[in-house]
Amino acid sequence: MPNIDLIDSFAEELTAIRRDLHAHPEIGFEEHRTSGIVAEKLAGWGIEVHRGLGGTGVVGLLKGKGNSTKRIGLRADMDALPMEEKTNLSWRSTIPGRFHGCGHDGHTTILLGTARYLAQTRNFDGTVAFIFQPAEEGLGGARAMIKDGLFEKFPLDEVYGLHNAPQLNPQQVAVAPGPTMASADFFDITITGYGSHGAMPEMSRDPVVIAMTLGQALQTIVSRNVDPLKSAVLSITQIHAGSAYNVIPGEATLAGTVRTFSEKVREQIRDRIRTIAAGMAAAFQVEIKVDIRDIFSVLVNHEEPSHFVADVAREVVGGENVLTRPTPKMGSEDFADMLLAVPGAYFWLGHEGDVPLHNPGFVLDDKILPVGASLFSRIIEKRMPLAA
C-alpha cells in the first residue's frame, strides 16, 4: 500500500504550505505566524482547535466515525533555528538569522496534510489529537505544553512523532524500541580568578590557564570513568575569556553539552564535573561555579507501538525500506518527555539530499510530505479501525 491517493492529490498544496513556512521561519516560543496558519487550516477543515499550550502550541481534536473512547496523538514541532540559511532556493528564509535548518517546516506540513486527509475521511474509530509543538530546539517546548496540562486536558492512550532524515535513503523508515536518542545536559562553568598585566602572570590567578587545564581534565570523564560499553559524549563547545592582548582577565567560562542513554551514567558525569571543578578550584585557589541543566530526557520508544509503526511503514514504503535496528543517535529530541508520559514511538523518514541537519545548506525534499502524511494517517486508521 503506497501513498494514499487523496493525500497525493493535494501534495502540491502541501509543498506550497511548507515553502511558505520555510520562507517565514520563527524560533522557539515565537511561532505566532506559524501557529496562526496551523490553527486557521485546522479550523477550516472542521477540526476543533485549542491554542496557547506551551505559549504558541496548538492542539486540534478530530473524532472519527465510531464510538470508541480511544485517543491517539500525533505530534509535529514548528520552530526554526537561530542561524543563517545559505541556499539559493527561491523560497529561502526572508528573515535574517532564522532558518528551518532542521526541517520542522516539513514536520508541521506533514501533520497538516494528515489532518486534512483524516478530516475529509474520518475512517477511524476514536479521537486523534494533532499536537503542534513550539520550541523543540533546546528550549523545552514539550515540557511547556505538558506543564500547561497537555495530557490532562487531552488524555491520550498513545502518541507518535517523526523526523526527516537526510542520512537515510529516500522513503526509508527507521524505528526501534528502547533508547533511541540521547539525553542532553547543557553546562556552564565560570572560573573567577585574579587578573593582572599580561607581563606579570605571577601576580594573577590566571583563569585562562585554569580553563584550559579544566577542559582537558573533563575529557577524562568519558574515557576513564564511564563504562566503555555505555555510550556517552562530553563536548566543550564554548570558551570565553579576556578582551586585550596584554591583560590576564579575572574570569573565564566554559560551556558545553553531555549526551548519554542512561540516567545512571548521566548522573555519574554530572558528579564528576562538579568534583573535578571543586578540586581544581582548591588547587588553584580560585572560585569555580558549575551550572548543569537538564535539557532533554533519553528518548525511549515503547516496544509494541514501535513494532506497529514498522508494520505500517512496510505497507506504505515497502518492507525493504524499513529499518528496525537503526543505530541510536547521540542527538536529542524533546518528544522524549511526551513518551515519558504516554506510550508511543518516534521514527525517522529518509529523503533525498546529502547536506546534514543544522547545516546552513540543508534542503528538505518536499517529496516526503505525502509520504509522511500517509504514514501518520495509516497509523490512525489501523490503530483505531472502524468495526467491520
Condensed to tens digits (0 to 9), the pLDDT of residues 223-241 reads 999 999 999 999 999 999 9
Q: Do domains 5-179+298-383 and 183-296 have the same CATH topology?
A: no
Is 100 assigned a ligand-binding role in the annotation? no
Query: What CA–CA distance (Å, rounded) separates 68 from 158?
Result: 14
Q: Domain locations in the chain?
A: 5-179+298-383, 183-296
Q: Tell me how crowded residue 179 is: count the other CB atoms within 10 A of its CB.
A: 17
Architecture of domain 183-296: 2-Layer Sandwich (3.30)
pLDDT band at 387 (very low <50, low <70, confident <90, very high): confident
- Residue 145: per-residue pLDDT: 98
Cell of 327: 543505530
Retrieve residue 137's grid coordinates: 530546539
The 8-class DSSP code of residue 198 comes to T
User: Which residues, 6 or more positions from 59, have their beta carbon under 8 angstroms from its beta carbon?
Assistant: 49, 50, 53, 129, 130, 131, 132, 150, 153, 154
- Whether 388 has a pLDDT exceeding 90, the answer reads no
* Annotated binding-site residue? 22: no
Terminal-residue alpha carbon distance, the chain: 20
- Digit-coded pLDDT (tens) for 18-63: 999 999 999 999 999 999 999 999 999 999 999 999 999 999 999 9
Cβ contact 52:145 at 8 Å: no
Query: Average pLDDT of 235-249?
Result: 98
List C-alpha distances in Å: 249 to 4, 188, 245.
63, 18, 10
Instruction: Say what the pLDDT of residue 1 is.
Output: 57
Q: How far apart are CA 56 and CA 200, in angstroms?
A: 54
Band of the pLDDT at 262, cuts 50, 70, 90?
Answer: very high
Q: Out of 3.40.1710.10, 3.40.630.10, 3.30.930.10, 1.10.3720.10, which CATH number does the structure's domain 5-179+298-383 have?
A: 3.40.630.10
* pLDDT (mean) for 67-78: 97
Q: Give the tens place of pLDDT for each residue, 320-366.
A: 999 999 989 999 999 999 999 999 999 999 999 999 999 999 999 99
Give the residue carrying C-alpha cell 476543533: 48
Q: By three-state DSSP, how is residue 7 classified?
A: helix
Query: Is 302 marked within a binding site?
Result: no
386: which DSSP letter? P
